[in-house]
């Protein structure tokens, strides 16, 4: 193999070019690993591109007035009597799962947290700087090997892992199909971020996991249809063959977090039936996807973010359909993330936040979910108590929810509500602060004591766009009388309102210079202004933002 030298000291396999360098990269991206990644790229990139083109085509249909619906051509799958493969022991009891970005302290804290599972996240909560990705993969490799430790920079605390049997079961969430890894060029093309994240993790950890009677377990984000699930399945088959793993050793849990995917839950389970272990209600991306998918439907505008709660009927329908579908097929129906995190220094506010999380978990366990997510270790006992009290068995697949009857209209019904000035301003603030932190390498931040990540920020961004463009969209949809939307105090939602909110924002931020990503706030303001002003809604905030990273 003739190696191509890129950055001095960073070797790449034939026709693989690494365009950046980070600590420990040479031990991770060895010639063997790069050859493996190049193989994945060459075999699957054309299909990925086809699936992405189909997304655009599907969206063109929705923009022309069509509404998402259950497919006619897959009726036999929905009506058929089949089950997914049996679940591995390690993923039978998933009542509390903690999630978080992949820095060493987080990973150690999460694995030690007492949760049943830990989803190490390269997607919504990680800003994909090259340094973060390389560090994250190194950290996970050490975690699987049992050698991970971390010293706090001030030397005050040394973090080490609990014994393996006491650790949460590790699942990894690679980035979605829409993202590229620009630092790895194969034959001159950037490789898929999904294939990079999954490929590097599987390549380095499959053998060590197999030795512990585990496998590479993944959460798959932002799928839109069964063909995308089938693509993942082909990738898993290919990786298993290449690494000499038994078929089906790699497991998948799919996030149902796009509106189109809610109409294909059976089909997605079927496409991955040899390895899928569950579906998860990724509620934040789902709300974002609802807005994005129905952007050209002026009768389906959502009220402000705070009013779009899981008890709204379209979200209840989605989660109940997910439970019914999973339990019919022998898969777990995982709940999702409440955004509240513990509030320090204000006992009353903390009690109120925890009460909201408790109510959310209670709703999930009563509805029939087999487990749930928490964003913070302090929420684990609360979630565990709620599930232990009402779910004495390791899961509740016996709750078949035959009473649930969800049709197209139920999944699409827009909630009635309002947009307040505070809600509008909060969307602006969340977008700007999140984007600034993300550009600075931090993909998950607390803002006003709520966990904010790429999915929650996307809701804020797309809502602003949808409200601001409502009059134009409504006229294009055939309503020449349409006017702008209004705040509940009567002020029109227009670009003047946005400009005032953006200009006033820096002055409203207390201790601005201490905020994560403080130095990039003006850049984030400029980006949000452009994203909101564009006639065409950008599909993902992280795509233009990624061009500014590294």
Ligand X SMILES: CC(=O)SCCNC(=O)CCNC(=O)[C@H](O)C(C)(C)COP(=O)(O)OP(=O)(O)OC[C@H]1O[C@@H](n2cnc3c(N)ncnc32)[C@H](O)[C@@H]1OP(=O)(O)O
Binding site for ligand O=CC(=O)O (CB under 6 A): 124, 255, 257, 282-285, 336-337, 455
Q: Which two tokens stand for residue 246?
A: 């038994």
Nearer to ligand O=CC(=O)O, 330 or 371 (CB): 371
Asked if 461 is part of the footprint of ligand X (rule: CB under 6 A), the reply reads: no
Binding segment toward ligand X, per CB under 6 A, in 96-104, 198-206, 393-401, 494-502: 96-104
Give the three-state DSSP class for 51: helix
Nearer to ligand X, 298 or 336 (CB): 336
Where in 288-347 is the site for ligand X (CB under 6 A)? Answer: 337, 341-342
Work out how close the CB of 207 gets to ligand O=CC(=O)O at its nearest, in angstroms, rounded to a whole number. Answer: 29
Q: Rounded to 5 degrees, what are φ and ψ at 153? A: -55, -30
Asked if 100 is part of the footprint of ligand X (rule: CB under 6 A), the reply reads: yes
Asked if 176 is part of the footprint of ligand X (rule: CB under 6 A), the reply reads: no
Active-site annotation holder among 95, 173, 214, 273:
173
Nearer to ligand O=CC(=O)O, 289 or 426 (CB): 289
Cα–Cα distance between 171 and 62 in angstroms, integer? 34
Give the three-state DSSP class for 352: helix
Q: 């969307």: which residue's tokens?
A: 427
Work out how close the CB of 443 gets to ligand O=CC(=O)O at its nearest, in angstroms, rounded to a whole number. Answer: 12
Asked if 112 is part of the footprint of ligand X (rule: CB under 6 A), the reply reads: no
> Can you tell me which of 7, 19, 74, 109 binds ligand X, judged by CB under 6 A?
109
User: At a CB cut-off of 8 Å and minimum separation 6, what does 259 contact?
Assistant: 68, 286, 289, 290, 293, 294, 411
Nearer to ligand X, 346 or 499 (CB): 346
Asked if 124 is part of the footprint of Mg ion (rule: CB under 5 A), the reply reads: yes
Q: Which two tokens stand for residue 169?
A: 């079961």
Q: Which two tokens stand for residue 447?
A: 């803002």
Nearer to Mg ion, 396 or 462 (CB): 462
Q: Is 453 a catalytic residue?
A: yes
Q: Which two tokens stand for residue 441?
A: 């390498």
- Nearest Cα neighbor of 33 from 21, 23, 41 is 41
Give the three-state DSSP class for 302: coil
Q: 């599909």: which residue's tokens?
A: 539
Q: Which two tokens stand for residue 342?
A: 């513990």
Binding characters for ligand X, 248-287, by CB under 6 A (x = yes): ------------------------------------x---
Cα–Cα distance between 334 and 323 in angstroms, integer? 8
135 and 82 Cβ atoms separated by less than 8 Å: no
Cα–Cα distance between 410 and 288 in angstroms, integer? 17
Binding characters for ligand X, 196-225, by CB under 6 A (x = yes): ------------------------------
- Which of Mg ion, ligand O=CC(=O)O, ligand X, none is residue 377 near (CB under 5 to 8 Å by kind)? ligand X
Q: Is 66 a catalytic residue?
A: no
Q: 């069509």: which residue's tokens?
A: 66
Q: Which residues pair with 253 in a beta bridge?
A: 219, 278
Nearer to Mg ion, 11 or 452 (CB): 452
Nearer to ligand X, 445 or 528 (CB): 445
Cα–Cα distance between 225 and 265 in angstroms, integer? 8
Where in 350-409 is the site for ligand X (CB under 6 A)? Answer: 375-377
Rg (CA), the chain: 23
Please enumerate, as own/partner, the contacts of 446-450 that have beta carbons within 8 Å and a separation of 24 or more: 446/341, 449/340, 449/341, 449/343, 449/349, 449/353, 450/339, 450/340, 450/341
Where in 448-467 is the site for Mg ion (CB under 5 A)? Answer: 455
Q: Which residues are catalytic?
A: 173, 453
User: Which residues are near ligand X by CB under 6 A?
Assistant: 98-101, 105-106, 109-110, 121, 124-125, 284, 337, 341-342, 375-377, 444-446, 451, 453, 455
């Amino acid at each position: 193999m003739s190696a191509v030298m890129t950055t001095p000291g960073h070797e790449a396999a034939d026709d693989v070019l690494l365009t950046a360098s980070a600590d420990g990269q040479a031990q991770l991206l060895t010639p063997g690993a790069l050859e493996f990644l190049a193989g994945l790229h060459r075999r699957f990139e054309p299909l990925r591109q086809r699936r992405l083109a189909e997304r655009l085509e599907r969206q063109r249909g929705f923009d022309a007035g069509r509404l998402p619906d259950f497919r006619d051509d897959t009726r036999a799958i929905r009506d058929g009597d089949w089950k997914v493969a049996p679940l591995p022991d390690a993923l039978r009891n998933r009542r509390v799962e903690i999630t978080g970005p992949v820095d060493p302290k987080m990973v150690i804290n999460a694995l030690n947290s007492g949760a049943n599972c830990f989803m190490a996240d390269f997607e919504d909560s990680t800003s994909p700087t090259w340094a973060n990705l390389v560090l994250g993969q190194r950290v996970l490799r050490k975690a699987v090997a049992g050698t991970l430790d971390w010293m706090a920079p001030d030397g005050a605390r040394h973090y080490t892992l609990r014994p393996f049997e006491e650790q949460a079961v590790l699942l990894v969430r690679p980035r979605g199909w829409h993202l590229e890894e620009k630092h790895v060029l194969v034959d001159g093309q950037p490789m898929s971020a999904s294939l990079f994240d999954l490929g590097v993790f599987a390549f380095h950890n499959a053998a060590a996991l197999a030795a512990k009677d585990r496998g590479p377990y993944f959460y798959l984000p932002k799928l839109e249809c069964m063909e995308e699930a089938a693509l993942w399945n082909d990738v898993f088959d290919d990786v298993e063959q290449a690494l000499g793993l038994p078929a089906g050793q790699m497991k998948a849990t799919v996030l149902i977090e796009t509106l189109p995917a809610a109409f294909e839950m059976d089909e997605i389970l079927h496409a991955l039936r040899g390895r899928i272990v569950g579906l998860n209600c990724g509620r934040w991306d789902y709300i974002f996807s609802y807005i994005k998918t129905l952007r050209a439907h002026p009768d389906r505008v959502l009220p402000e973010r705070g009013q779009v709660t899981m008890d709204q009927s379209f979200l209840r329908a989605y989660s109940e359909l997910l439970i019914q579908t999973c339990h019919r097929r022998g898969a777990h129906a995982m709940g999702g993330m409440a955004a509240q995190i513990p509030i320090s220094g204000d006992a009353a506010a903390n009690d109120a936040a925890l009460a909201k999380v408790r109510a959310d978990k209670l709703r999930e366990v009563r509805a029939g979910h087999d487990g749930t997510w928490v964003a913070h270790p302090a929420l684990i006992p609360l979630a565990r108590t709620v599930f232990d009290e009402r779910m004495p068995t390791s899961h509740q697949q016996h709750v078949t929810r035959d009473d649930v009857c969800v049709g197209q209209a139920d999944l699409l019904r827009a909630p009635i509500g309002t947009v307040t000035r505070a809600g509008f301003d909060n969307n602006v603030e969340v977008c700007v602060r999140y984007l600034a932190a993300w550009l600075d390498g931090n993909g998950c931040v607390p803002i006003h004591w709520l966990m904010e990540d790429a999915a929650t920020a996307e809701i804020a961004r797309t809502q602003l766009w949808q409200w601001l463009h409502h009059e134009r969209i409504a006229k294009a949809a055939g309503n020449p009388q349409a006017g702008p939307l209004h705040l509940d105090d009567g002020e029109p939602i227009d670009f003047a309102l946005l400009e005032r909110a953006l200009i006033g924002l820096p002055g409203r931020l207390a201790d601005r210079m201490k905020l994560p990503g403080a130095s990039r706030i003006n850049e984030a303001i400029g980006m949000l202004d452009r994203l909101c002003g564009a006639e065409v809604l950008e599909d993902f905030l992280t795509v233009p933002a990624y061009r500014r990273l590294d």
